[in-house]
Amino acid sequence: MVNSATAFSSDFAPNRADAPVDLAHLRRFTMGDEALELEILGLFSGQLPITIAALKEADTEKAWGIAAHTLKGSARAVGAWSLATIAENAERLRPMPDAAARGHVIERLEAAADAVQEYIASLAPSA
């Protein structure tokens, strides 16, 4: 169980301008419910590898576009702006990029996703 009183205390997790997730953005949708914020971020973090795997496995322009669009939307929903921008750029690639270009895009997405996941992990209160 998450202790919502300490999960996002201003001393513990300030919303830094350079943070991979804009907590102020997320808080507008959770009405400041810190337990809900942690739950949403946990779900988002858990879904990231699945969505990136869908990009890796995309063998058509449509599959690539759907996976990139899904990632863009979910990243925007939680305020992961950098990740959302990379996903948006991936979504706009037409025609579908060749394997080398897809690999480069996926590397950038994975690096941004890693930063987001590390940040989310840092928000969880100690047991």
Domains annotated on the chain, with CATH: 23-123 (1.20.120.160)
DSSP the chain: ---TTTTT-TTTS---TT-SS-HHHHHHHHTT-HHHHHHHHHHHHHHHHHHHHHHHH--SHHHHHHHHHHHHHHHHHHT-HHHHHHHHHHHH-SSPPPHHHHHHHHHHHHHHHHHHHHHHHHHSPP-
Q: Are 7 and 124 in contact (CB under 8 A)?
A: yes
Stated pTM of the model: 0.84
Residue-wise pLDDT tens digits, 22-73: 999 999 999 989 999 999 999 999 999 999 999 999 999 999 999 999 999 9
